[in-house]
Amino acid sequence: MALYTWSGYTEKGKATQGLMDATSLREAKLKLRTQGVFVSSIVEENAAEAPHTRDISLKSLFGRVRLEDLTVMTRQLSTLVGASIPLVESLNALYEQTESPSMKRTVAQVRDAVNEGLSFADALSQHKRVFSDLYVNMVRSGEASGALDVVLLRLAEFLEGQHRLRSKVGTALVYPFVLLCVSTVVLFYLLTAVVPKVVSMFENMGQKLPLPTRILIGVSDFLAVAWWIIAILAAFAVFAFLKWKKTEQGAYRFDRFRMGVPVYGKIYRKISVARFARTLGTLLSSGVPIVESLRIVKTIVQNKVMEASIDESTAEVIEGSSIAAPLKKSGIFPPLIVHMISTGEKSGTLEEMLIKAADAYEEDVETAVAGLTSVLEPLMIVVMGVIVGSIVLAILMPMLEMSTIVR
């Protein structure tokens, strides 16, 4: 079967569009016609995209599969497979009920690949941007062990945990970010539009202005004339930073710097440790070998400093070492996670200990972020008040001096 993207009009003249699954273009048109759709354009999707081709189209930027859609799909597939429904039929059922066009397209392509003889894991591996190495290897392990439904359920729980943590952290930081943006806009408006009108009358009097007022006028004049230079320099600085951060050395140094920042560094480290523990625990509990699990975790942890430490640990594990010993020697991982891993290795409950450690660190992250935002919000308000108060004082000082002279 092929997948067709179509657009057209209903019998009432309303514009509509979507995806259609059919064996041929003619069948797709007939299906749409029976649904009361007048087709204006219909194009077959290119299901045979090269896996390493870089797509820079608008569809690649705005048509990505969302984490929540992937999570729902994984849980639904686990239920269908657990009910002994064949994989192709399960994927076809998912295709019918999925509302997200991006997810629908991906499911259709995976289903067709499985129908052509590929294993489910190999079909998923053709979509690297949707299914991570973690996802593919866990599915491969589930297929090999005959417990695909159980593995998919664990994957769904893992993805839900990641989405929940990301949502809580993001929600907690929304208000400080909005407050910072609004404060910046208000200050820029005051300095470029309001202040020049107020202080212009002082300049015409020929009176010597106080130092704070002269500084305020200088800053206002500079911003009014050179704001575009500041904007260009800021854009160039951001571009140069992002370019540098993409390099191996730049990413490593930036992650090292972030881990050393007061307050924020501890939160960032805990997030990385929680991701490491939950990913490794999920992989091991799904039957993925320890060395392969460590290699996958390295790509998931998103911290170059920890990646280097995991690389060294993997090499020592291959030589027969335990996991805890090289992690402790690196000095990157907190003593608590090292101790829990060591205990899990000795007791044979490594997977459970890793999941418990991940739960503990995620709770710490939520508490720390909530505490940080509770401090940031009043701090930003105070700073904003001081800045605005300084501007008002710089404007009022000449008025007070004039009133003194008049008396």
Binned average pLDDT, 10 residues per bin, the chain of 407 residues = 70 70 71 75 58 39 71 89 88 84 85 85 88 85 82 86 80 81 83 75 68 81 83 93 91 90 87 88 85 86 88 90 88 89 90 90 86 82 85 78 59
Of 153, 369, 170, 155, the closest CA to residue 278 belongs to 155
| Angle formed at CA 346 by CA 333 and CA 137, multiple of 5 degrees | 65
- pLDDT tens for residues 258-272? 988 888 888 888 888
Q: What is the distance of C-alpha 343 from the center of its chain?
A: 32
At residue 62, the pLDDT reads 41
Same domain, residue pair 17 and 94: no
CATH no. for residue 17?
A: 3.10.20
Q: For residue 232, is it within any domain? A: no
Structure tokens at 190: 């005051």
Same domain, residue pair 35 and 69: no
Q: For residue 208, is it within any domain? A: no
Give the whole-angstrom CA distance, residue 17 versus residue 87.
Answer: 28
At residue 244, the pLDDT reads 93
- pLDDT tens for residues 137-146? 888 888 877 8
Q: For residue 149, is it within any domain? A: yes
Give the whole-angstrom CA distance, residue 277 versus residue 258.
Answer: 20
The values of phi and psi at residue 185, to 5°, are -65, -45
At residue 127, the pLDDT reads 87
Same domain, residue pair 81 and 40: no
At residue 218, the pLDDT reads 83
Same domain, residue pair 32 and 116: no
At residue 253, the pLDDT reads 92
At residue 47, the pLDDT reads 42
At residue 236, the pLDDT reads 95
At residue 404, the pLDDT reads 62
At residue 19, the pLDDT reads 67
Q: For residue 139, is it within any domain? A: yes
Based on the structure, what is the number of domains in the chain?
3
- pLDDT tens for residues 302-353? 889 998 899 988 999 998 888 888 888 888 888 889 999 999 988 889 989 9
Q: Which domain holds residue 130?
A: 62-155
Q: For residue 24, is it within any domain? A: yes
Q: For residue 124, is it within any domain? A: yes
Same domain, residue pair 264 and 354: yes
At residue 202, the pLDDT reads 67
Helix (H) or strand (E) holding 102, with range, is helix 101-115
Structure tokens at 357: 């450690």
Q: Where among 109, 140, 155 does a domain terminate? A: 155
Residues 6+ apart with CB under 8 A from 271: 165, 169, 361, 365
CATH no. for residue 315?
A: 1.20.81.30
Q: For residue 401, is it within any domain? A: no
Same domain, residue pair 39 and 123: no
Q: For residue 39, is it within any domain? A: yes
At residue 237, the pLDDT reads 94
